Structure 1
Amino acid sequence: MSADAAPMARLVLVIPLLFMVCTPAWSGAWLREKGSSFTALSVTAFKEEDVYKYKSSLYTEWGLRPKLTIGLDAEEHQDLYGHALVFARVPVADMGSAGRLAAEFGVGAHHRQYSSWAMYKATLSYGKSIQTGLGGGWINVDAALENRTHEAVIRKLDFTAGLSSGRRFDPLLQIETSYVSDRPWYWRVRPSLMYRPKTGRLTWILGAERNSADDNIGIKFGLWRSY
């Protein structure tokens, strides 16, 4: 492994251990209260013919100040490619019942096998609490520009909706899209079920994933925890 790729590999291996020593919540347009943290860890497996492939992801954030949240976003696809990004989120506008806006700025690295490049990302997020016949919940929309320096700028538009009704089971839907000039749109859809045990502070996530580049459906398992 090259000197550039080795730090990212160590990061992806070590950070999940910290997760095991930390009530779920979503991020996007919402900032963390000062001193509070949130961590999400997941693994998604796909089967292609007789071979299983997987990807792992880690997302963690911490309220550094009342109006500043910092964090880490990392994803790895079987050591073939992945990224690690540190970011800072600040509020833009609080529109009361109409929702809120936040801006996020990130810097990190993206790798393909043993080659790596710098990576920059700017995101504008809109979030709103909602009430449905099944209980309360939220929606969040993220519009981002991502520059991986070795290729064209990627334009992203993501949507998340979920319920936080207080029941032990609640639905969650995530839709991610991205576009690079002269290439077709890429999309990824993940419907999931959130399970909250009676005791403990973990939320378990079980879902499926389908994307425009693969005919197979992946199975996702994840954990959320706030502290």
Structure 2
Amino acid sequence: MHALICTLLGTGATPLGAGAWLQPTGRGFASTTTRLSWAQEQTVQNWPRAELRYDTFYLEYGASRRLTFGTDLGRSISGGGKAVGFVRFALLGTGPLRIAGELGLGQIEGVRALRPGLSVGVGLEQGWLNADLLAEIREAEGTDYKLDLTLGVRLPKKTRLILQLQSGAPQGDSPFARLASSVVLPLRRRLQIEIGASQGLTGDDSSGLFMGLWSEF
């Protein structure tokens, strides 16, 4: 169960970074997030002392119209530390329906790992829908799988609401599912803040809070 509590609370899927929409050529997106979690039955009495705190960093840069390069640092599907570099490439890059493939390479818990992925997104009049499927393949350690389903809603004054169903199947652990919701607020022209919470639904007995900064460059 400890591995499930330590599992990544989300990939930070947004309309600016990650997902089926690639970065424009010569433009980038970066985010850093702090996440806290507690066991659900002890959230109220233990709120001053989180059972787990960890920080994540995510970076994307548009190398061309059909290629985005990036770095993903933080925690893997299984809960171990990760450092992955990746390339995302457009498979279908026009119209409201977008499809992108991804190939990442790096280390998870100190072991070399390959991370292929597929993202499918649909642009809506006031938001977007996105599905991200990732597999983390580690040498002699097996493969972990993760699927995030995201609904984003654009509100006035550049405010966004994000609702995400996060699910996964770590090697050696039971599958899990959790719900995460957040609000994204503008701070300056290219700087935004995200504030959110998560709740384990099955295979995950944790509750969490997170806060992050987003930057476009």
TM-score, length basis structure 2: 0.79
1:38 is displaced (CA, Å) by 0.2
2:3 aligns with none
The secondary structure found in structure 2 opposite 1:31 is: coil
- Deviation per CA, 1:53-72: give whole Å up to 9, x if none: 21211111001122110000
Q: Which has the higher helix share?
A: 1
1:27 is displaced (CA, Å) by 2.4
1:13 aligns with none
Aligned equivalent of 1:215, options 197, 200, 205: 205
- Deviation per CA, 1:138-161: give whole Å up to 9, x if none: 111012222022422122211122
Matched, 1:121 2:119: no
1:168 is displaced (CA, Å) by 4.8
1:172 aligns with 162
Please give the alpha-carbon distance, in whole angstroms, between the structure 2 residues aligned to 1:146 and 1:76: 12
For structure 1, the residue ranges without an aligned partner over 5 or more in a row are: 1-23
- Aligned positions of 1:57-96 closer than 5 A: 57-76=56-75, 81-94=80-93, 96=95
Please give the alpha-carbon distance, in whole angstroms, between the structure 2 residues aligned to 1:168 and 1:32: 19
1:217 is displaced (CA, Å) by 1.5
1:91 is displaced (CA, Å) by 0.7
1:130 aligns with 124
Please give the alpha-carbon distance, in whole angstroms, between the structure 2 residues aligned to 1:90 and 1:214: 32
Same amino acid, percent of matched pairs: 28
Query: Which has the greater radius of gyration?
Result: 1
Residues 75 and 81 in structure 2, CA contact (< 8 A), matched pair in contact too: yes
How many residue pairs match? The answer is 192
Please give the alpha-carbon distance, in whole angstroms, between the structure 2 residues aligned to 1:27 and 1:180: 21
Please give the alpha-carbon distance, in whole angstroms, between the structure 1 residues aligned to 2:213 and 2:143: 31
The secondary structure found in structure 2 opposite 1:30 is: coil
